[in-house]
Structure 1
Amino acid sequence: MPIITLTTDFGIKDHFVSAVKGAIYTEFPDAKVIDISHEISPFHITEAAYIIQNAYKSFPKGSIHIIGIDSELNPENKHIAVQLDDHYFICANNGLISLITSEFNPDKVVEINIHDTIISNFPVLDVFVAVACHIARGGTLEVIGKNTQEIKTIKGITPIVNLGDKQIVGSIIYIDNYGNLITNITRKLFEEVGKGRKFKITARTAIFENVYQRYSDAINFEIEKSKREEDGKKLAIFNSSGYLELAIYKSNPKTVGGASSLFGLYYRDTVSVNFE
Structure 2
Amino acid sequence: MACCITLLTDFGHQDVYVGVMKGVILSLYSQAQVIDLCHEIPPQDCRTASFQLLQAVPYFPPQTVHVVVVDPGVGTRRRAIALDLGIGYCVGPDNGVFSQVCDRYPPQRVVELTQPQFWRTPNPSATFHGRDIFAPVAAHLAAGTDLARLGSAIEPDSLVRLPHLTYEITPQGIQGWIQAIDHFGNVITTLPAALLAKDYHHIQIQGQQIPLVHTYGDVPPQHLMALVGSHGFIELAVNGGNAQSLLGCQNGDAVWLV
Contact 1:9–1:38 (CA under 8 A) maintained in structure 2: yes
Give the whole-Å Cα distance in 2 for the aligned partners of 1:209 and 1:261: 18
Of 160, 175, 182, 1:176 maps to: 182
Give the whole-Å Cα distance in 2 for the aligned partners of 1:260 and 1:95: 24
Task: State the AA in 2 paired with 1:102.
Answer: D
Corresponding residue number in structure 2 for 1:147: 153
Relative to structure 1, is the Cα distance of residues 262 and 22 closer, same or farther in structure 2, using a 3 angstrom cutoff? same
Give the whole-Å Cα distance in 1 for the aligned partners of 2:173 and 2:231: 22
Corresponding residue number in structure 1 for 2:204: 202
Corresponding residue number in structure 1 for 2:74: 72
Give the whole-Å Cα distance in 1 for the aligned partners of 2:88 and 2:16: 28
Contact 1:25–1:31 (CA under 8 A) maintained in structure 2: yes
Q: What residue ranges of structure 1 are gaps of 5+ in the alignment?
A: 220-228, 252-257
Corresponding residue number in structure 2 for 1:255: none
| TM-score of the pair, normalised by structure 2 | 0.91
Task: State the AA in 2 paired with 1:91.
Answer: G
Give the whole-Å Cα distance in 1 for the aligned partners of 2:12 and 2:200: 43
Corresponding residue number in structure 1 for 2:255: 271
The Cα shift of 1:201 comes to 1.8
Alignment of 1:123-138 (within 5 A): 123-138=129-144
| TM-score of the pair, normalised by structure 1 | 0.85
Q: CA RMSD in A?
A: 1.7
Corresponding residue number in structure 1 for 2:124: 120
Give the whole-Å Cα distance in 2 for the aligned partners of 1:135 and 1:39: 25
My pick for the range that moved more, 4-13 or 22-31, is: 22-31
The Cα shift of 1:49 comes to 0.7
Corresponding residue number in structure 1 for 2:233: 243
Alignment of 1:9-20 (within 5 A): 9-20=10-21
The Cα shift of 1:115 comes to 3.5
Contact 1:2–1:63 (CA under 8 A) maintained in structure 2: yes
Corresponding residue number in structure 2 for 1:110: 111
Corresponding residue number in structure 2 for 1:262: 246
Relative to structure 1, is the Cα distance of residues 105 and 204 closer, same or farther in structure 2, using a 3 angstrom cutoff? same
Give the whole-Å Cα distance in 2 for the aligned partners of 1:198 and 1:27: 53
1:186 matched to 2:188? The reply is no
SS at match of 1:110: strand
Contact 2:200–2:257 (CA under 8 A) maintained in structure 1: no
Give the whole-Å Cα distance in 2 for the aligned partners of 1:27 and 1:35: 18
SS at match of 1:124: helix
1:233 matched to 2:223? The reply is yes
The Cα shift of 1:180 comes to 0.9
Corresponding residue number in structure 2 for 1:47: 48
Give the whole-Å Cα distance in 2 for the aligned partners of 1:85 and 1:211: 37
Partner deviation per Cα, 1:77-128 (whole Å, 9 max, x = no partner): 1111001141100011112222221222111111111237621112111211
Give the whole-Å Cα distance in 2 for the aligned partners of 1:49 and 1:85: 18
SS at match of 1:23: helix
Give the whole-Å Cα distance in 2 for the aligned partners of 1:203 and 1:211: 16
1:160 matched to 2:175? The reply is no
SS at match of 1:39: coil
Q: Percent of aligned positions with the same letter in both sequences? A: 30
The Cα shift of 1:210 comes to 2.4
The Cα shift of 1:198 comes to 4.2
Give the whole-Å Cα distance in 1 for the aligned partners of 2:79 and 2:247: 39
The Cα shift of 1:205 comes to 4.1
Task: State the AA in 2 paired with 1:156.
Answer: H
Task: State the AA in 2 paired with 1:34.
Answer: I
Contact 1:118–1:127 (CA under 8 A) maintained in structure 2: no
Contact 1:114–1:127 (CA under 8 A) maintained in structure 2: no
Contact 1:73–1:79 (CA under 8 A) maintained in structure 2: no
